Amino acid sequence: MLSSYLQLNNVSLHLQEKQLLKNINLLVEPCEFVSLVGSSGSGKSTLLKLCSSLISPSSGNLSFKGKDFIEWDLLQLRREISYCFQAPVLFGATVLDNFKFPFELRNQKINLTRCHELLESFCLPEEIISQQNHQLSGGEKQRIALIRSLLFVPEILLLDEVTSALDASNTAIVEAQMMKLNRQGVTILWVTHDIAQSQRIATRTLEVEQGSLDFKADKLCMV
């Protein structure tokens, strides 16, 4: 096992004189399923954005596989570490446009078989692929954005409240699929407000409060 798979060393973030994160030290091992809990505005989503290199720390550093983030090619890093937003951002006009996007980034032809397999896994009808983005419900948008992130399976998947717009049945489907991916070797960091959800899915639970990590939350998750 790599001792520095995903590592944050004394990471702090200031924005307009406000400290959003302070002195974060975290080591995530390969194949972990880490849940981040905490109150709104505590810094959970900000932490995921740092881990996906969408923003940079004010101080400290992040590394992946022993190499500092600043040494990585940004496109390659984001292929390895994929971030799925709570409020999904869809591309183009249709679901198909979204599914084409990761293939186009790799100069590849879209694999429709792979698209249909994932739609089936998340209990979405095959014909949704031709639907307009604006016709989708909030829950459908979340699942389409998640599928887009999984067309090429990343090494680390960062999930920000990805079941917030889903009913209990579809939440259970997403949880089951993420747990399956984790068993297949994908490392997952999942932000949730739901302690019960964290206990169901995660191998480790960490609490983020006022920009700091509280490792005492580990006791909440006994997997």
> What is the per-residue pLDDT across 1-16, written as a single tens digit (0 to 9) for each?
445 699 999 999 998 8
pLDDT in tens, 202-221: 999 999 999 999 765 554 44
In the chain, the domains with their CATH numbers are: 6-89+153-220 (3.40.50.300)
State the average pLDDT for the chain.
Answer: 92
Return the exposure string of 13-47: e unless at least 16 CB atoms fall within 10 Å of the residue's CB, then b.
Answer: beeeeeebbbebebebbebbbbbbbbeeebbbbbb
* Helices within 133-203 (DSSP H only): 138-150, 168-183, 195-201
For 77: left if phi > 0, alpha if psi spans -120 to 50, otherwise beta; the answer is alpha
Distance CA 52, CA 167 (A): 28
**One-letter amino acid identity for 157?**
L
Residue 113's contacts (CB-CB under 8 Å, 6 or more residues apart) are none
Compute the average pLDDT of residues 57-64.
Answer: 96
Question: pLDDT tens across 76-129, in order?
Answer: 999 999 999 988 999 999 999 999 999 999 999 999 999 999 999 999 999 999
Question: Using CA atoms, how far apart are residues 190 and 192, in angstroms rounded to an integer?
Answer: 6
* Cβ partners under 8 Å of residue 99, min gap 6: 110, 115, 129, 147, 148, 151
- Per the listing, tokens 């739609």 go with 119
Residue 222: predicted pLDDT: 37
Strands 81-84 and 156-160 come out as parallel
Q: Are 146 and 176 in contact (CB under 8 A)?
A: no
In eight-state DSSP terms, residue 55 is S
DSSP 95-128: HHHHHHHHHHHTT----HHHHHHHHHHTT--GGG
Q: Tell me, what's the pLDDT at 1?
A: 40
pLDDT at 18 over 80: yes
What is the arithmetic mean of pLDDT over 165-174? 96
